[in-house]
Structure formats: structure tokens, C-alpha cells
Amino acid sequence: MTSVLDPASSAAPAASPADTVAALRATFERGVTRPLAWRRSQLERMVAMLEEHEDEWLAALAADLGKPRMEGYVADIAFVTGEIRLMLKNLRKWNRTERVRTPLVNRPGSSRRIPEPLGTVLVIAPWNYPVQLLLVPAAGAVAAGNTVVMKPSEVTAATSDLFVRLAPAYLDQDAIRVVPGGVPETTALLEQRFNHVFFTGSTAVGRVVMAAAAKHLTPVTLELGGKSPVIVDRSANLKVAAQRIAWGKWLNAGQTCVAPDYVLVDRAVEQQLIDELRRTVASFYGSDPKTSADYGRIVSSRHFDRLVALMRDGTPVVGGESDAQSRYIAPTVLTGVDPGSRIMSEEIFGPLLPVFGIDGIDEAVATIRSRPHPLALYVFAEDGRVVDDVLARTTAGGVTVNGTVLHLTNPHLPLGGVGDSGMGYYHGKESVRVFQHLKPVLRRGTRLDPPIVYPPYSERKMKLLRKAL
């Protein structure tokens, strides 16, 4: 099959994808992953793998992405251990058989929903949060009782190599395997029959994954991206808005799937917002962000070149500097952007922030509705009526009001997209449910066997059934 995944850089797996999947499937069929005790032990080992080697993980993230230690710890270590500990706390509850009501027509009897693991699943992670976006869904699959193939991104080679080295020392290799590599390895994996495929990445590659899964009628969860807009109403607290937009945008140098992609701001406060963004950049990263220890780098030269080309679609009014050797692109605010330009037709996934002046909320809503549904939507307003209006007239995977990004940090709120931005949800309980089948079971007794539903039929039986149904 044709693939648009990134070029390979990691070593090929020791076993073929077919052999790996066959071995994991055999483990599942033997019932190894069914006991809650096994699931608990593997989740605890995942936490230990992160915590006992925290410095190595943070060093790998810094080598791959220039991630500041605090960003790496919060987003790729603490986030994962927090999610896994929530799974551990609720492991028995989330895997408990659920009793549901039984209609009169099915009595005497009882009805239940039994959560069952799907089997052998594939988790394909991207490079921007290479620990979080591999381990959170993989942990959910383990908590649900599945065997798992974990495919880290070859683009973040240091982090991928660390998974390859540490996972065999901590996790049950009969049930959980890490398969490194690039296009050939990923393509070969997608040719295998899995019971579920969980992919995080671009919409373009999501289509490739879904097409491959369709050959086996394999269900998929696609956590994709898109252009997540920010609306800034004239009633907004502009200083707070600027700080929260800047934090969400330039976290990980803009390489975040739910990062603000462009801003629609009321013309009455447009210049004020830009001025506040300029002050915020200086406050966060100093007069020269290139020298800041708190600002990351672009993951590869290919992505650097793409972003520099996109920057030409507007005029930098904040930032605009770049350095190819260190893959540095300054936190940049752009104005004068043509809505039909390339930067507005693809996800930016970098530190460039186009700002557009608008004449009120109706124009903002119309702009958002004219585009594919975004993965995230952000609205800043002190006027609650504006917020309610935007929520009522727009569709997005998730929303944060008077903030950015943070809706995905609440494990009780599912994360997922709509349409081009993805399908399916995870986080918290949903990270387990996505890898389960809720098997419906109706159990009937035999002491009573009312003849009402059996032939021969009669008008009397029909009258009784009308009352019962």
C-alpha cells in the first residue's frame, strides 16, 4: 500500500510483523491478559518504567524536540502516570459486569453488559508527545485486557530507542511488544489483522491507516488534528487571553495537535491583543527566545523547511526569526494572511500564529463553520451570552472557554475529534472502553415459559402483547 508516513530512522524489529502479531494473538487466546492481577501488574510496571528512568526520558525528549524539562515532565511523564494511576484506582470498577433493566416481555430473566477485551490491538504514536501519545492508549488497552503492539515514531529516534531498550525489562513481552521503524515497518504492521487500531497523527495519514484497516474490517480510533481556532470577543480580558493563547500555542514550539492554529479577534481589540501577545512572548522567553531554556525546537529539518515556507504567507508582527542549523523558529504572530493561502489550508503544527480581525461573533462563527470541524475550539469572552452563542452554533472535538489546551488534561472529559479531526474518544474511562466490547447477555429462566409469543397466534395474544410491549 502507499504510505505517507515519515522516513525510517530506527532499527527494524527482530521478528516479522506477522510473527509478532501471531505471538501476541496466541498469548491472548491462552487467557494470559484476562486476570485483573496481570493487568494491574503491567500498569504498575509502566509507571515504574517512567519514574525509575525519568532523567533518561527527559533527556531523550530534549534530544528529539528540545523540550524543556518541565514541559517534558508535565506532558510526557506526569500526564501518563496520572492517567495510569486513575486506571489502577478504577480497574475493577471499569471492568465490572453491568446489570441493566429487563423488559417485561423478556421476563423471567436478567440482562447484563459484560466488558470484554477485543484481542490484539495496534497503537501508532506520533512524534510530538512521543511518550504520552503511545503509553496512554496502550495502558488503556492493557487495562481492558488486550495484547498490544506499540509503534513509536521513528522521527523521535532517542525516545523510540528508549522504548525499545526499557520495555522488555519492564513489560510482559508475551503480551506487549514495541515495534520500532519507519514506513516499511508501519506499512507491514497495517497489513496484519488486528482487533483494533489506534492512531494519532495527521488527517492525511489517518486516511491511509483507515484504508488499511478496512481490508480486515478492523475498527479504528483516529486522533487527528486540523486547524483549531481561537475566538477573542471584544469583552475578553485581553491580558489573560494573550497569556493563555501564548502558552497553548508555543508549548512544544507549537507542535501540539490542539494548539491554537489561528485567531479570530474583534477588530475593536485586535491591535491590543497583538500588543499583549508581544509582551507575553518577552515575558515567557525573554528578548531573544532562541536563548531561552524554556522554548523548544522543530523536530526535523523537513518540518522546519515547511514552516519557514508557510511563514511567507503573512507578515510577522511578532517574531519571524529562524535558524536552520538549530531548527529554531521564533514564536511568531502573522497578520495580512490571505484566508485562501497555504498556511490556512493545512494544520500549521508549529510556532506560527495568524491573527485575523473580524466584525463580530457572527463572522467568526461563519468562518469556523465554513471549514472542517476542528479538533479543538477556544473562545475568550467575559460576556457569557457570547460563549453560549459560539457553543450553540459550532462543532468541535473539544472546547476550552477562556483558556487553551486544558480540556484534554481532565481525564473525566473524553478527547476526540469530529469528521476530519478524528473519530472515537479516549482519556480516563474512555481509554479502557475504546478497547472493549460490551457484550450484551440476556439470561432467561426455564421455570416459566409463557406461550404468548409462540404460534398459533390469536387476537387475544395480540392484545396482551400490545400491553406488554
Mind listing the pLDDT tens digit for each residue in 352-371?
999 999 999 999 999 999 99
Determine the pLDDT at residue 269. 98
Determine the pLDDT at residue 9. 36
**Cα 123 from Cα 106, distance rounded (Å):** 40
Q: What is the per-residue pLDDT across 218-233, written as a single tens digit (0 to 9) for each?
A: 999 999 999 999 999 9
Determine the pLDDT at residue 107. 83
Of 252, 248, 347, 366, which is closest to residue 307 (Cα–Cα)? 347
Confidence band, pLDDT 50/70/90 cuts, at residue 14: low
At residue 442, does pLDDT exceed 80?
yes
Neighbours of 363 (CB within 10 A): 16
At residue 4, does pLDDT exceed 90?
no
At residue 13, does pLDDT exceed 50?
no
Determine the pLDDT at residue 7. 34
SS (H, E, C) the chain: CCCCCCCCCCCCCCCCHHHHHHHHHHHHHCCCCCCHHHHHHHHHHHHHHHHCCHHHHHHHHHHHHCCCHHHHHHHHHHHHHHHHHHHHHCHHHHCCCEEECCCHHHCCEEEEEEEEECCEEEEECCCCCCCHHHHHHHHHHHHCCCEEEEECCCCCHHHHHHHHHHHHHHCCCCCEEECCCCHHHHHHHHCCCCCEEEEECCHHHHHHHHHHHHCCCCCEEEECCCCCEEEECCCCCHHHHHHHHHHHHHHHHHCCCCCCCEEEEEHHHHHHHHHHHHHHHHHHHCCCHHHCCCCCCCCCHHHHHHHHHHHCCCEEEECCCEECCCCEECCEEEECCCCCCHHHCCCCCCCEEEEEEECCHHHHHHHHHCCCCCCEEEEECCCHHHHHHHHHHCCCCEEEECCCCHHHHCCCCCECCCHHHEECCECCHHHHHCCEEEEEEEEECCCCCCHHHCCCCCHHHHHHHHHHC
At residue 290, does pLDDT exceed 50?
yes
Cell 514541559, residue? 71
Confidence band, pLDDT 50/70/90 cuts, at residue 70: very high
At residue 8, does pLDDT exceed 80?
no
Mean pLDDT rounded to a whole number for the chain = 94
Q: What is the per-residue pLDDT across 168-192, written as a single tens digit (0 to 9) for each?
A: 999 999 999 999 999 899 999 999 9
pTM (two decimals): 0.93
Active site residues: 223, 257
Determine the pLDDT at residue 282. 98
Determine the pLDDT at residue 373. 96
17-224+420-439: CATH topology is Aldehyde Dehydrogenase; Chain A, domain 1 (3.40.605)
Cell 472542517, residue? 372
Separation in Å, CA 447 to CA 107, 408, 451: 11, 52, 13
Q: What percent of the chain has pLDDT over 70?
A: 97
Neighbours of 172 (CB within 10 A): 18
Q: What is the per-residue pLDDT across 202-215, written as a single tens digit (0 to 9) for each?
A: 999 999 999 999 99
| Torsion sign across C-alpha atoms 351, 307, 232, 269 | positive
As beta bridge partners, residue 353 has 333
- Read off the C-alpha cell for 265: 479577534
CATH architecture of 229-411: 3-Layer(aba) Sandwich (3.40)
Determine the pLDDT at residue 452. 82
Determine the pLDDT at residue 183. 87
As beta bridge partners, residue 207 has none
Least confident range from 103-107, 268-272, 445-449: namely: 103-107
At residue 300, does pLDDT exceed 90?
yes
Determine the pLDDT at residue 106. 83
At residue 142, does pLDDT exceed 70?
yes
Domain boundaries, the chain: 17-224+420-439, 229-411
| Cα within 13 Å of Cα(351), Cβ side | 29
Could you tell me the maximum CA-CA distance found in the chain, to the nearest angstrom? 88
At residue 110, does pLDDT exceed 60?
yes
Torsion from C-alpha of 28, 34, 431, 423, nearest 10 degrees: 40
335 phi, psi to nearest 5 deg: -125, 175
Q: What is the per-residue pLDDT across 328-346, written as a single tens digit (0 to 9) for each?
A: 999 999 999 999 999 999 9
